[in-house]
Structure formats: C-alpha cells, structure tokens
Amino acid sequence: MSAAERMQRQQNRTAWLFLLPLIIALFGVAIWPLARSIFFSFTDAFLDAPANYGFVGIDNFIAVAEDPVFWRAVKNTLFFTVISVGLETLLGLAIALLLHRAFVGRGIVRAAILVPWAMPMVVSTRIWEWMLNDQFGLVNELLVTLGLVEKGIAWTAEPSLILYTVIFIDVWVTTPFMVLLILAGLQLIPEEIYEAAEVSGVPHWKRFWSITLPLATPAIGVAMLFRTLDALRMFDLSYVLAANNENTMTMSIYARDQLISFQDLGLGSAASTWVFMIIGLIAIVIVGALRLDRTTG
C-alpha cells in the first residue's frame, strides 16, 4: 500500500469520525421519525396507544384522498404558495434594485429591513391581526378616514378575504429574505458590464432586461426555491390567525389536526406522507426546471 493510499484511508477514517455525531443526530431526529411516520401511515394506530396497531394497507391514504377538506387544504396551500412567492419575488427584486444603489445610510436601511424577518411568525401575525382588526384596526381607520370605505372591512373574518390577508402578512414577513438573497446576487454582477453597456449607449430598460435580470436569475431562482418549499409547509401563520378555518387551512394544519386533535396516528401519518410526496414532487419539478445542479455546481 502506497503512502498516498494510507493517507487517504486515514483521512476517510477521520472524516467518518467527525461526521458521526451529525449522522447519529440526524438519524434520530429526521430519518428515523420520517421512517416511522411512513410506517404508521399503513396502520390503524391511535396516538394514545401507538404500540397497539394492525396493518390496514393503503386504506389511510385512500381515506385522506377521499376527504374534500384535505383537497381544500392542498388548494389553499398551492394558491398561497404561488401568489405569495410571486409577489415576494417581484417586491423583493424591486426593493433589492433600489437598495443596490448608493445612498447615504444604505447600511442602516439594509439592517432595518431585517426586522420583519427576525420576528417570530406568531408575533407578526398578531401585530397584523391587530392592525387589520375590523373595528379598532389602524388600516380600517385609515381607509374610513380617506373615504375609501364606509365601514371597516373584516379582513381576518370574511371568508373571501382571509386567505388574501394570510398572503399579505406572509409577503410582509418574508420579503426581506428575498431582498437579501437577490441583493447578494446583484453584487456578483461585475460593474464592467454596465460600464461597457453605457459606453455603447444601451438604454436603461435594456440594460435591466439583458444584463441585470439574466445574471441575477440564478440567485432569484435559488431564493424562489427556498421560499416555495418554505411556503408549502406553512403552519403557524394560518394556525394563529384562524386555527382550523377551512378557508385558510394548509396541508400541514390538516395533517396535524388528524394526528393530534383527532389522535388518529394512522390517518395523520398518511396525511403527512401525502404532504411529503406532494412537496417532494414539486421540489423535483422546480429543481429540474431551474437546473439547479448546474447553476450551483
């Protein structure tokens, strides 16, 4: 055995040793629980006595698929994800372009926009719930004063409005994250390209379309992927604002309801396995579309 081989083997041993705590911990909190969740989805176990189960095949999966409430939750989640990630991307791009320019106090502004992002989602939800209160909320007061509406709108109670309210709050919370990632992407674009374009007299809008946008696309794509996967598992915002109101119920709320509120371990696990499969499928489609494997090397 050559010295180089011996060194490589020793390095491998060291690497496994350093990775051991990570592997054990992630096995304990992620892989094993995931496997058990999938396992339970084929049983009729209940939460109070999980050891007491029988196998029921795919009955639970069928039961979830036949529940209109589940499909309502899927529809809500997808609608929420598409609209809010779309709006966050546009708003995030606009704000990033603005903050990318040089102005006095830029550092402070960049720090300040982290505020909504650093708050617990529960807190943001509560603050907006208060501002959007139908009788005493600031937003309605403002609208009434300006004469735009005659009396306050029940933003958080009106079934046709509440999902839009959820989207609005989510956009406020997560736009800073989008801004930061897009800003980082913009900073990677070399200044020389713009100088060259300017010298050749390329107009502003064309510089944006054919330089800024294409070169920032990888950063925007990654940011959108993260936000999409995050939005698809959204739980706290809807739960705090409306608990299990069917107009805002997300897939995660539906699955947790079956599992914890109804104590149905089998059915709840099947619901969460459905969620897992739906999100997994969407992730595969997006990663394929973005060809992330290429852009991030």
Helices (H), the chain: 3-26, 32-40, 59-65, 68-100, 106-112, 115-118, 121-131, 138-145, 159-187, 191-199, 204-207, 213-232, 236-242, 251-256, 265-290, 292-295
State in angstroms the smallest separation of the CB of 15 from another protein.
Answer: 4
State in angstroms the smallest separation of the CB of 295 from another protein.
Answer: 8
* Phi and psi, residue 46, nearest 5°: -115, 155
- State which of residues 58, 98, 281, 284 lies at the interface with another protein (CB under 8 A): 98
In angstroms, rounded to a whole number, what is the distance separating the alpha carbons of residues 282 and 269? 20
State in angstroms the smallest separation of the CB of 36 from another protein.
Answer: 3
**Which of the ranges 52-60, 62-70, 79-87, 134-142 carries the binding residues for another protein, by CB under 8 A?**
134-142
Q: For residue 263, what are the contacts with CB-CB under 8 A and spacing of at least 6? A: 46, 47, 48
- State which of residues 49, 62, 65, 138 lies at the interface with another protein (CB under 8 A): 138
State in angstroms the smallest separation of the CB of 118 from another protein.
Answer: 5
Q: 224, 89 in Cβ contact below 8 A?
A: yes
Kindly write out the interface string for residues 186-205 of this chain, putting x where it contacts another protein by CB under 8 A and - elsewhere.
Answer: x-xx-x--xx--x-----xx
Q: Which two tokens stand for residue 38?
A: 């999938």
- State which of residues 6, 9, 49, 50 lies at the interface with another protein (CB under 8 A): 50
Kindly write out the interface string for residues 7-46 of this chain, putting x where it contacts another protein by CB under 8 A and - elsewhere.
Answer: -x--xx-xxx-xx-xxx-xx-xxxxxxxxxx-xx------
In the complex with another protein, the residue whose CB is nearer, 83 or 259, is 259
**Which of the ranges 53-61, 64-72, 147-155, 267-275 carries the binding residues for another protein, by CB under 8 A?**
267-275
The vertex-173 CA angle with 169 and 176, nearest 5°, equals 140
Which conformational region is residue 272 in: left (phi greater than 0), alpha (psi within -120 to 50 degrees), or beta?
alpha
Kindly write out the interface string for residues 219-238 of this chain, putting x where it contacts another protein by CB under 8 A and - elsewhere.
Answer: x--xx--x--x--xx-xx--
**Which of the ranges 55-63, 67-75, 80-88, 273-281 carries the binding residues for another protein, by CB under 8 A?**
273-281
In the complex with another protein, the residue whose CB is nearer, 163 or 266, is 266
In the complex with another protein, the residue whose CB is nearer, 83 or 177, is 177
The vertex-209 CA angle with 206 and 211, nearest 5°, equals 90
In angstroms, rounded to a whole number, what is the distance separating the alpha carbons of residues 131 and 134? 9
Footprint of another protein on residues 56-85 (CB under 8 A)?
Answer: none
